Structure 1
């Protein structure tokens, strides 16, 4: 395996640590850095990742390392793995590991967490379980460990061996203001910024954490954002006013903030004929590879129907299906990617154009989606077509994402209040 200079530097700077965090920007090859660090220890390796990345990790270790590799989501391989003598790698996903009591009783292994930001909520079952595991060595990998929010690092700090309480961490590094909640009448804390950031980064470095941005390493191509507008429909306006509407025989009832927010977004995307027509026009305007991000299954169905007559090769990545054959083999392919399933971890730099048929409401997924094409190996400028209905919740979501914040029910409620006025 031939590492890039920045990857070699990350390993050299953490050579003395047995607990490390490689917070390398998407595209800088943290997979190779993490596996090389893990291979430097003689202990067996337990690697925890997202379900969609299981096979990628299994194939990576089988290709580059002479040791047994087991897919622990497979019951037969899991049974074989438990009886194996000698050095091995076991790969399992976050949502399954805490259901296997075996991992609560072992110790003295190398623990690798891919996309370690997944354990940022220390109260979640998977986080609690992982924080109680007894590894000898720890390797954390993430391209966006905090999504710009340092308070989300706290659970990861404990795995690195920094035993600082949550209260003390907040007092030293997080700026909080207390605001009045008009619904409950109580004052609630709100994070408004950070303090002592340089000291925080020094402390992280002392505990084996490496931060590295793409722009610090490579001169990546230009990123060009192109808005694609479509008018909001009269059905959208009516629904926002009345919270109920029937479209093509289906009744949409926004009886909660969440349901109203979801249906409002649907009415801006696949239920908006102008959006669908604009999408078809975009696809017809180029024979280049296209990556299309979407949220809802209905969006995928609608998009496929809209371009069926074009007979373009299609790949799909979502929660139940992953096939990148057309992407790999056809220069005019269209690859549909559901945010949750593919915004994190896919290498799609054969393409240089992304269409956002609809926007995610999660900042981390949005930031990572952009880096699927803007990464090592990309030689062309990257174009991002953001499909937006002006004056709707979509515009509000995009503004929030540009601030690197998640779009929540509370923000939608404020938007709805301004809409009503």
Structure 2
């Protein structure tokens, strides 16, 4: 059993919520929400406990309970045999005879497909990254809001991303039975604006009565903590590295079409029938496909950026974290860096191998946003390279949390963030939108 030694801010969070059986720890990334949430679950002392988290975090949660709470019985509910054991212990009441706490761990996308979870009663529900239920119309949110826990623990470093309207579904779980209409009426400022086709749409322009909202949230067990308020972490430095936009990108943006030579990365005219080079046809017939191809032309199909990545990697022998989006990007980067003979680790939807990260000071760890941006401790490294940026729903949260993978408790060195950006493209606009706490929209993209 590993010893638990809580930091002052963690003890404060637990003390301030001692009287609550429903609470939210909105602690900034890197402040140890896992330790606070698990300890609160232990103190609540319900025999049945359920942790819902991202798929990439299941193993981390299982291991955490095994390391620090060996008297508990922890089960990975994505595994059929362990799910059956969990249900059997609950249904037959055997766990009460054994005088133990059982902890089931499952991911969001699997949970709402397990109807039997709705039958659980008298249990503690913990949501890791509770910001993932901010859309109350999503299947996972609807399912979780139907559950009947006795106690609730919410964990998130970015519960709202500065948007208070996103809190409504979470406060329902905390027992604040305010309707969505009343919540918006009390705290959200909106106005109706023309959308260009004769119709109006409601847009959020700001917030009101925020001090009252904060007091109300505190009365329902919400704890907000920012890193700067409780810890002195090392300085963070960001650096943009620019590359020229290619003629292929410009042609595609103008015409929404490109006959592209993926081998030479240089032609966009119709291919000669006798030429056996691997041409592909890019057709941006809607905003989604056009955005996708535009990003790829700035990523895995951008020679200068891949060269720049190699130069940057060669400039240091320190551990490096590289964030990326697409599998093709990973393949292009690995090919470009192969002869450097640097050990590497990979974290993505199909693989999580951190051997090189753990053992080699000069390792490179490639992390796909969806699999590792919102969870994981990588403070052995102090440098992150953003080969491409996240885009789409949840991109702001993903980007903010990705930065905290190295800037957290245990980091003693200054942290550096390198953005590889193709100038005058969607990438520049995307980073600007992320820094403003926004997600790049179709309208912004059209002006690229």
Question: Shorter-chain TM-score: what band?
Answer: over 0.9
SS at match of 2:44: coil
* In structure 1, C-alpha distance between the alignment counterparts of 2:44 and 2:182, rounded to whole Å: 33
SS at match of 1:83: helix
Instruction: Check if 1:294 corresponds to 2:324.
Output: yes
- Say which of 2, 7, 20 aligns to 2:5: 2
Instruction: Check if 1:154 corresponds to 2:184.
Output: no
TM-score of the superposed pair, with normalisation by structure 1: 0.97
Counterpart residue number, 1:419: none
Q: Name the count of aligned residue pairs.
A: 414
Counterpart residue number, 1:383: 416
C-alpha displacement of 1:294: 0.6
Instruction: Check if 1:228 corresponds to 2:241.
Output: yes
Counterpart residue number, 1:244: 257
C-alpha displacement of 1:236: 0.2
* In structure 1, C-alpha distance between the alignment counterparts of 2:417 and 2:65, rounded to whole Å: 33
C-alpha displacement of 1:168: 1.2
- For residues 198-236 of structure 1, the C-alpha deviation after alignment (integer angstroms, 9 at most, x for no partner) is 111111000000000111111111111111110000000
Larger radius of gyration: 2
Counterpart residue number, 2:111: 97
* In structure 2, C-alpha distance between the alignment counterparts of 1:379 and 1:252, rounded to whole Å: 46
Identify unmatched segments of 5+ residues in structure 1: 417-421
- Say which of 278, 299, 303 aligns to 1:273: 303
* In structure 1, C-alpha distance between the alignment counterparts of 2:286 and 2:114, rounded to whole Å: 36
* In structure 2, C-alpha distance between the alignment counterparts of 1:56 and 1:295, rounded to whole Å: 22
Instruction: Check if 1:16 corresponds to 2:16.
Output: no
Instruction: Check if 1:339 corresponds to 2:369.
Output: yes
* In structure 2, C-alpha distance between the alignment counterparts of 1:409 and 1:335, rounded to whole Å: 32
Counterpart residue number, 1:48: 52
Instruction: Check if 1:27 corresponds to 2:40.
Output: no
Q: CA RMSD in A?
A: 0.9
- Stretch deviating more after TM superposition (404-413 or 224-233): 404-413
Instruction: Check if 1:262 corresponds to 2:276.
Output: no
* In structure 2, C-alpha distance between the alignment counterparts of 1:193 and 1:412, rounded to whole Å: 24
Q: How does 1:20-419 map to 2 (within 5 A)?
A: 20-43=23-46, 44-65=48-69, 66-84=71-89, 85-86=94-95, 87-183=101-197, 185-248=198-261, 249-361=279-391, 362-413=395-446, 415-416=447-448
C-alpha displacement of 1:80: 1.1
* In structure 2, C-alpha distance between the alignment counterparts of 1:368 and 1:313, rounded to whole Å: 25
C-alpha displacement of 1:83: 1.4
C-alpha displacement of 1:411: 2.6
C-alpha displacement of 1:5: 0.7
* In structure 2, C-alpha distance between the alignment counterparts of 1:263 and 1:252, rounded to whole Å: 7
Structure 1 consecutive aligned stretches of length 4 or more whose deviation exceeds 4 Å: none
* In structure 1, C-alpha distance between the alignment counterparts of 2:53 and 2:196, rounded to whole Å: 40
C-alpha displacement of 1:136: 0.3
C-alpha displacement of 1:42: 2.3
SS at match of 1:38: helix
C-alpha displacement of 1:346: 1.0
TM-score of the superposed pair, with normalisation by structure 2: 0.91
- For residues 169-215 of structure 1, the C-alpha deviation after alignment (integer angstroms, 9 at most, x for no partner) is 111111112111114x2100111211111111111000000000111
- For residues 17-44 of structure 1, the C-alpha deviation after alignment (integer angstroms, 9 at most, x for no partner) is 0100000011100101001110012211
SS at match of 2:409: coil
SS at match of 1:6: helix
C-alpha displacement of 1:262: 1.2
